[in-house]
Structure 1
């Protein structure tokens, strides 16, 4: 009989639980392990594991002698050493597309929040003000919306932004005129996108090539003080450069669903910036 372990609180419905229970002996952990030893203990006799965000590196996989399948409750899989898994004969499954709509909706919501200065307006009223004329803002259809990474999620973000009337610029590794015509976007290089966009959505996967993709140089190229929204991975943006860009006004605001360190250090100066909206990696929820 297979041992199936839910490692870190993957949200499963009653129907999911019934179906999984038919496959073997199921053990559910509702919270992430507190340390490496606890994780190894959870995996000791597991043949199949369901995982949300717990990192599965080379040493963890090698210590899990019975493991044959890792099922990820996510589209991304950069927290699993897939090379080692392959060497050990462990199948790794992920769920591409499962988070596409939720992340796209989140992105458009954050863009509208900052574009229409809703946080500022809320604080204004709470502090006794009621001057509507202070909050005359641009309309979404007048904006140039840049999308970095045009996979499933980036494509859906572009689709939603286009429905609201924005002009869409996109930077991707696989541009083509056919895709541009089909999606109604204009493909440009990264520098042109940064220079021309009023709103920028980061939707690229994390790879050695995209780590630190947006740094001091790139912030300096942002000619229109854009709103920057990152729902991809924190490491795509140099966080020190981001803080400086916010401080000196190279960008208007940032919506961050991902960070270098999750959760962040409470002393992180980025947490003190009023023009940043934080969410706890929940855009896909």
Structure 2
């Protein structure tokens, strides 16, 4: 069995040894120059480990031996799942990791924006020590709207309680029992947008969530509110967000994800002072990276042993045999 780690991931020597027990391992430490180079990397692989680099139909068509893709993250919207299924390739992800890291990052954004940390740091480095421009706001007593109450969203709710915040969320199936258990109020989306000083998004990218926050939703938000997106860029209409930030309707945004990644050099987001931009790193702690790789390798081990886990297209399993060791 040949295992190809096709783009950069966190991979310790212990992880490499575990993979080595399964077969030949080839590790690429850099991103491919283009899609053709990526296809060349995986051409004779039985198992591919992929991080952020996408796999389209052409990638699957060019890898005739491929039986499994191990996605080194939770999201797999960059993998053509239909093409994988047609090719008989199992795709496994890491469904639950880094929720502590991402939830904490939400509040790093919130505090930095509310307390004007980015501006103060830049001005001080220029020699300006005048403190009077940096009067901000505190989290205690604010209302935070949390869209998505999975592992990450629930941790955000817990941290918000520590700051003494009121928490709103929205769901298709609200119940007093669930609201009490989570420590929040379920409201409709319109109410959540209108009453939240901070809006944070924790939903996967699907047909129903793509651009779920558009011009209409942004207009309903409280003037001066902050939007934080650590989910997927296309959950927000980026053009509408830029306009809401330019006009001052929104007080700021913390964005770790974008419609197009890497963020294009010509993106107007780069010109806005009321935005903090980071390159998709909310998950990035040593603890979460080790956990993610541990589960990724375990997914490959279980697949090779004939007892696959975390497969997101389980229909292929009936016709996909694990590669020979």
Q: TM-score range by the shorter chain?
A: over 0.9
- Report if aligned partners of 1:147, 1:154 keep a CA contact under 8 Å in 2: yes
- 1:94 maps to 93
What TM-score do the two structures reach when normalised by structure 2?
0.83
- Report if aligned partners of 1:254, 1:277 keep a CA contact under 8 Å in 2: yes
Deviation at 1:128, TM superposition (A): 4.0
Query: Do structure 1's residue 163 and structure 2's residue 162 form an aligned pair?
Result: yes
Structure-to-structure mapping, 1:1-285, within 5 angstroms: 2-285=1-284
Distance 1:203 1:136 in 2: 29
Distance 2:88 2:132 in 1: 64
Distance 1:163 1:83 in 2: 43
- Report if aligned partners of 1:196, 1:224 keep a CA contact under 8 Å in 2: no
Distance 1:105 1:282 in 2: 12
Instruction: Summarize deviations over 1:198-248 as a string: whole Å, max 9, x none.
Output: 011111111111111111111110124211111111111111111110011
Instruction: Summarize deviations over 1:67-107 as a string: whole Å, max 9, x none.
Output: 11111110111111223323332111111221211111111
- 2:305 maps to none
What TM-score do the two structures reach when normalised by structure 1?
0.95
- Report if aligned partners of 1:258, 1:280 keep a CA contact under 8 Å in 2: yes
Instruction: Summarize deviations over 1:91-139 as a string: whole Å, max 9, x none.
Output: 1111122121111111111101111111222234334444444433322
Instruction: Summarize deviations over 1:150-177 as a string: whole Å, max 9, x none.
Output: 1111111121112211111112345333
Distance 2:134 2:75 in 1: 38
Tell me, which stretches of 5 or more residues in structure 1 are unaligned? Answer: none
Distance 1:215 1:31 in 2: 35
Question: May I ask how many residue pairs the two structures share in their alignment?
Answer: 284
Which fold has the larger relative contact order, with Cα–Cα distance below 8 Å and residues 6 or more apart in sequence?
2
Tell me, which stretches of 5 or more residues in structure 2 are unaligned? Answer: 285-325
